[in-house]
Amino acid sequence: MSDTPQEQTVIQAIQRWISDVVVALNLCPFAAPVVNSGRIAYRVSPETDIEGIYRDLLLALDEFQRQESDQVATGFLILSQGLASFDDYLDFLEMADDMLVEAGLDGVIQIAGFHPDYCFSDSDDTDPANYTNRSPYPMFHLIREDDLEAAVASHPDPEGIPDRNIRLLRELGLAEVQQRLRGCFS
């Protein structure tokens, strides 16, 4: 199945975000090898209603867990139109975690959340630290627990990654991180 031109535009924005923000700033020290090997699955959902998004997430999870890690290490379900409200997105993310338990995938797959308006609960909207989880579109990052555990075990200071990212993004400043995110659409 080939992606439509609209889906390709959405995927390209996410690929630029991964390359120019996540990897370039080393926000996730585990990302570069996966990016360089091309083992990322991208799926775009045009759905706007909860039922449609839920169905697309189930399909993405099913497809992801059926593929071998050496072929597809990680995946993204990107919402091109749905869950624009960050509060609605957070509510759905909680439902998605429950979905993993119901599907017997808790401890097998983890879902990480990214959203254009991501805001940590202990932060205000203008804190550059929020850009660790701000992406061009709302999306769900599907991660294999075994791969994550192996990557964390190989890192000298996995607990220090969030603090390092917060410091880095605050040093860069709000204007710079906003520009980097906007640059994903060019």
The pLDDT tens digits of the residues spanning 2-61 come to 578 899 999 999 999 999 999 999 999 999 999 999 999 999 999 999 999 999 999 999
Whether 174 and 134 have beta carbons less than 8 Å apart is answered as no
Return the pLDDT at 128.
98
The rounded distance, in Å, linking the Cα atoms of 93 and 102 is 14
CB atoms within 10 A of CB 175: 9
Q: Residues 63-119: pLDDT tens digits? A: 999 999 899 999 999 999 999 999 999 999 999 999 999 989 999 999 999 999 999
28 closest CA partner among 182, 174, 164: 164
- For residue 83, is it left (φ>0), alpha (ψ between -120 and 50) or beta? left
Q: How deeply is 154 buried, as exposed, middle or buried, from its count of CB atoms within 10 A (0-12, 13-18, 19+)?
A: exposed
Give the integer Cα–Cα distance in Å for 156 and 176: 28
Q: At what angle do helices 50-66 and 86-102 cross, to 10 degrees?
A: 50
Per-residue pLDDT, 4 = 87
Q: What's the distance, CA 144 to chain centroid? A: 13
pLDDT at 186 over 90: no
Q: What are the structure tokens assigned to 72, written together?
A: 């597809």
CA distance 162 to 140: 19
pLDDT at 149: 93
Q: What is the mean pLDDT of residues 119-124?
A: 94
Q: Which of 137, 21, 142 is nearest to 89 (CA)?
A: 137
10 Å CB burial of residue 67 (0-12, 13-18, 19+) is: middle
Task: Read off the pLDDT band of 144 (50, 70, 90).
Answer: very high
Once rounded to an integer, what is the mean pLDDT over residues 165-177?
Answer: 98
State residue 100's pLDDT score: 95
pLDDT reported for residue 41: 97
